[in-house]
């Protein structure tokens, strides 16, 4: 009989990662909104990052699989749109992990003093960077280049 | 207002985003440079995601009121041309890069204003979808207006192409602001505003970008309409033939 405490389930779900950016767990991303336990049923409430993000289907599948692995049988994954996901929900730890992975983390969208300021290079920390393309390899990223070390890099867009 | 009109309105929103997504997706591996190929297909993906949300909601509404069992897929793949309520501008062939970016610009500015209304409106699900989508649309406006300015205020060749695009697309912009019956019907429910009210703010934004792009709005144009009520251009059938061919040939196919 699996343990039906929120804490345990949360810990199990820490192993579910974004399929495109495998260093981030779904908690780092801030897409898990709630876990509801109703007797022997576990409901995980998630919110999509971008409307068309194909990773959401994979993540829903992985949540189900992970809980099945740990003996849970009645599993429901519900997607809610409101309130809309924002990169402000990304954990500090997640932002650090992104940077170490070579992706510049998103800036805070709220209270940003310089909303259009350039991200710093995740390789050499230089602020002297330029935009190459507003869209990158996935919906959540834009492409930049560092003017100092010349390395192109992904920036996780502020959303 | 009856549920039917809300269903038609939601289908109009779904069809418009789906058909523009389908058109933009034709650029996949055909963009002028790699980065812009990625950009336009990312926009296509955003629009496809938005249309899925609208279709899922429409399917719910239909199933609740009629007991049918529609899904997002049956609505997208198994309806006929006359049942589609998308704006005409979304179904026009892509043409050159100037036409692709200009269409995206004209549409995104309009869509932004519309989503602003919907997210403050009284239909909870449409408001939630709008709240989600508007962030994506903001980005589409930024990207497409950059391109309109870059080509309009670029070389003689790019300026000619942008003017040609404007000549051929402008007559499809009027339809955006002429309310269909279902749009008028939902007004009393406080779901959205009259689309005619969006015209002035739209024109203001478009004019500002055109000024920077050294482009002039064509004067006294006859405005095409009909898409919102299912009377389409000759291009629509071909899009559906391609988009729906798999489900039509192998009903229920899934992977």
The residue in chain A having the minimum alpha-carbon distance to the alpha carbon of residue B44 is A52
pLDDT above 80: residue A27: yes
Question: What whole-number distance in Å separates Cα of residue B31 and Cα of residue B152?
Answer: 19
Question: What whole-number distance in Å separates Cα of residue B236 and Cα of residue A133?
Answer: 32
Q: Do A80 and B42 touch (CB under 8 A)?
A: no
pLDDT above 80: residue B255: no
What is the pLDDT of chain B when averaged over all its residues? 96
Residue A83, preceding peptide bond in cis (omega within 30° of 0): yes
pLDDT above 60: residue A81: yes
Residue of B113, B115, B109 lying closest to B133 (CA atoms) = B115
Mean pLDDT of B39-54: 97
Residue of B234, B253, B135 lying closest to A51 (CA atoms) = B135
Reported ipTM: the value is 0.86
**So what's the pLDDT on residue A1?**
79
Question: What whole-number distance in Å separates Cα of residue A108 and Cα of residue A91?
Answer: 11
Mean pLDDT of B202-223: 96
Residue B34 DSSP SS3: helix
**Strand ranges, E, within A31-87:** 32-38, 41-46, 74-79
Q: How far is A12 from chain B (nearest CA, A)?
A: 28
pLDDT above 70: residue B240: yes
Strands A74-79 and A129-133, how do they pair? unpaired
Contact list in A for residue B49 (CB cut-off 8 A) is 48, 50-53
What is the pLDDT of chain A when averaged over all its residues? 92
pLDDT above 90: residue A110: no
Contact list in B for residue A51 (CB cut-off 8 A) is 46, 48-50, 52-53, 129, 132-133, 136
Contact list in B for residue A82 (CB cut-off 8 A) is 124, 127-128, 131-132
The residue in chain B having the minimum alpha-carbon distance to the alpha carbon of residue A82 is B128
Residue A116 — pLDDT band, cuts 50, 70, 90?
low
Q: How far apart are the first and last CA of chain A?
A: 41
**So what's the pLDDT on residue B128?**
96
CB A69 within 8 A of CB A13: no
CB B15 within 8 A of CB B86: yes
Residue B68 — pLDDT band, cuts 50, 70, 90?
very high
Interface A-B: count of C-beta contacts within 8 A:
68
**So what's the pLDDT on residue A117?**
77
Mutation for testing the A interface, residue in B18, B34, B49 having most A CBs under 10 Å: B49
Residue A129 DSSP SS3: strand
CB B22 within 8 A of CB B243: yes
**So what's the pLDDT on residue A113?**
53
pLDDT above 60: residue B40: yes
**So what's the pLDDT on residue B188?**
81
**So what's the pLDDT on residue A89?**
94
pLDDT above 60: residue A114: no
Mean pLDDT of A23-45: 95
User: Encoding tokens for residue B170?
Assistant: 């402008």
**In this structure, how many other beta carbons lie within 10 angstroms of the beta carbon of residue B85?**
23
Listed as own residue / partner, the contacts of B124-127 with beta carbons closer than 8 Å and 24 or more positions apart are B124/A82, B125/A81, B125/B57, B126/B10, B126/B13, B126/B57, B126/B191, B126/B192, B127/A82
Q: Which of A111-125, B138-152, B168-182 has the lowest mean pLDDT?
A: A111-125
Put simply, whether B71 touches A (Cβ < 8 Å) is no
Mean pLDDT of B71-86: 97
Mean pLDDT of B173-182: 97
Put simply, whether A139 touches B (Cβ < 8 Å) is yes
Residue B92 — pLDDT band, cuts 50, 70, 90?
very high
A104: phi then psi, degrees, rounded to nearest 5:
-65, 125
Question: What whole-number distance in Å separates Cα of residue B148 and Cα of residue B61?
Answer: 39
pTM: 0.93
pLDDT tens digits along A140-158:
999 999 999 999 999 998 8
The residue in chain A having the minimum alpha-carbon distance to the alpha carbon of residue B129 is A81
Residue B1 — pLDDT band, cuts 50, 70, 90?
low
CB A78 within 8 A of CB A45: yes
Contact list in B for residue A52 (CB cut-off 8 A) is 45-50, 52
The residue in chain A having the minimum alpha-carbon distance to the alpha carbon of residue B132 is A84
State how far Cα B34 lies from the chain centre.
Answer: 24
Put simply, whether B52 touches A (Cβ < 8 Å) is yes
A46: phi then psi, degrees, rounded to nearest 5:
-120, 160
**So what's the pLDDT on residue B220?**
84
**So what's the pLDDT on residue B61?**
97
**So what's the pLDDT on residue B22?**
98
The residue in chain B having the minimum alpha-carbon distance to the alpha carbon of residue A87 is B135
**In this structure, how many other beta carbons lie within 10 angstroms of the beta carbon of residue A35?**
15
């Amino acid at each position: 009989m699996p343990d039906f405490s929120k804490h345990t389930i949360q810990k199990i779900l820490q192993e579910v990662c974004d399929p495109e950016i495998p260093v981030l767990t779904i908690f780092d991303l801030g897409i898990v909104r709630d876990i509801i336990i109703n007797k022997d049923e576990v409901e995980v409430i998630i919110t999509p990052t971008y409307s068309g993000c194909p990773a959401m289907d994979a993540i829903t599948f992985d949540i189900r699989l992970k809980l099945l692995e740990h003996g849970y049988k009645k599993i429901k994954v519900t997607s809610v749109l409101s309130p809309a996901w924002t990169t402000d929900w990304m954990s500090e730890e997640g932002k650090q992990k992104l940077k170490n992975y070579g992706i510049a983390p998103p800036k805070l969208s709220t209270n940003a003093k310089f909303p259009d300021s350039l991200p710093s290079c995740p390789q050499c920390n230089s602020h002297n960077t330029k935009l190459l393309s507003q869209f990158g390899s996935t919906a959540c990223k834009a492409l930049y280049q560092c003017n100092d070390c010349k390395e192109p890099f992904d920036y996780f867009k502020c959303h | 207002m009856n549920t039917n009109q809300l269903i038609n309105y939601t289908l109009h929103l779904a069809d418009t985003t789906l058909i523009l997504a389908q058109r933009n997706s034709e650029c996949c591996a055909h963009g002028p440079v790699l980065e812009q190929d990625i950009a336009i297909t990312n926009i296509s993906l955003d629009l496809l995601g938005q249309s899925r949300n609208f279709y899922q909601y429409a399917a719910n509404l239909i199933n609740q009121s009629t007991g049918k069992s529609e899904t997002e897929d049956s609505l997208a793949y198994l309806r006929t041309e006359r049942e589609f309520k998308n704006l005409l501008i979304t179904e026009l062939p892509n043409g050159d890069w100037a036409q692709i970016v200009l269409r995206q610009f004209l549409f995104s500015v309009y869509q932004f204003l519309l989503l602003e209304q919907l997210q403050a409106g009284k239909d909870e699900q449409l408001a939630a979808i709008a709240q989600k989508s508007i962030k994506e649309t903001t980005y589409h406006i930024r990207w497409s207006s950059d391109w309109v300015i870059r080509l309009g205020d670029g070389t003689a060749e790019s300026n000619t192409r942008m003017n040609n695009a404007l000549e051929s697309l402008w007559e499809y912009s009027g339809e955006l602001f002429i309310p269909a019956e279902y749009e008028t019907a939902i007004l009393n429910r406080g779901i959205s505003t009259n689309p005619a009210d969006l015209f002035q703010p739209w024109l203001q934004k478009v004019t500002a970008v055109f000024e920077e792009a050294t482009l002039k709005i064509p004067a006294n144009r006859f405005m095409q309409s009909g898409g919102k009520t299912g009377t389409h251009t000759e291009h629509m059938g071909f899009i559906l033939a391609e988009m729906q061919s798999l489900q039509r040939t192998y009903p229920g196919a899934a992977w």
